[in-house]
Amino acid sequence: MTSAQEGDRQAYEDLLTRVASLVHAFVRRRAGDAPWCEDVVQETLVALHRARHTYDISRPFAPWLYAIVQNRLVDALRAQRRKLLREVHPSLTFEPSGHALQERDAMRADVRRAVAGLPERQRQVIELLKFEDLSVRDVAARLGMSEANVKVTAHRGYRALRRLIEEWTRAD
């Protein structure tokens, strides 16, 4: 880590490779075979990269690393919990008719077509927020924007979408 702080790329690559396997094993032990384990590993690597200037060479590396892993893992578990709470149990949902399904599919296709027609940034933000179900914070991190900017861009995107869909409805 000391070499990595000084800019030694080879040492850093070796370190990250070893850390990735350690973190993977750590997350697996706690979360089992959850599909998001690899996401936690990657988020830990990114967090480690950002926090590398905080590592004190006079202290052991493991507590520093595992504090970051623990933090990322807890965040991931909270996100999963929120996601689970949003989902409705299948037994409580009613089965839509064939016609309703067709209408829903058509509407989905329309929305996707409308999103595809948005300016690049608005499209990216809405796709990540709504289709990939990422949080504002994750979208901001992914696109290199501030959270406020993500919200403003999304808002403008929704407005543009509304206009576009209203125009189509009138044309129909």
Partner 1 sequence: MPTEDLIQQLTSDLQPVRRLRPVAVRVAAWSVIALASLGLVTMLSGVRRELGDAVDKTDFAIEAALLTATALSAAFGALLVSIPGADRLRYMRSLPIVAGSATVVWALGEVLMATATGAPAGRATFAWYCLYKSTSIAFIPSVVLFLMIRRAAPLHAARAGFLALLATAAVGAIGANVVCPYDRPLHMLLWHAAPLMLFAGLGAGLGTWLLRWPRGAPPQSRGKKDSQH
Query: Where on the chain is the footprint of partner 1 (CB under 8 A)?
Result: 4-7, 9, 12-13, 16-17, 20, 38, 41-42, 45-47, 49-57, 59, 63-68, 71, 137, 140-147
User: Taking the complex as a whole, how short is the minimal distance between the CB of residue 119 and partner 1, in angstroms?
Assistant: 19
Nearer residue to partner 1 within complex by CB, 145 or 160? 145
Other Cβ atoms closer than 10 A to 18: 10
Nearer residue to partner 1 within complex by CB, 113 or 137? 137
User: Taking the complex as a whole, how short is the minimal distance between the CB of residue 2 and partner 1, in angstroms?
Assistant: 9
Nearer residue to partner 1 within complex by CB, 11 or 164? 11
Residue tagged 């933000």 (tokens): 125
User: Taking the complex as a whole, how short is the minimal distance between the CB of residue 85 and partner 1, in angstroms?
Assistant: 20
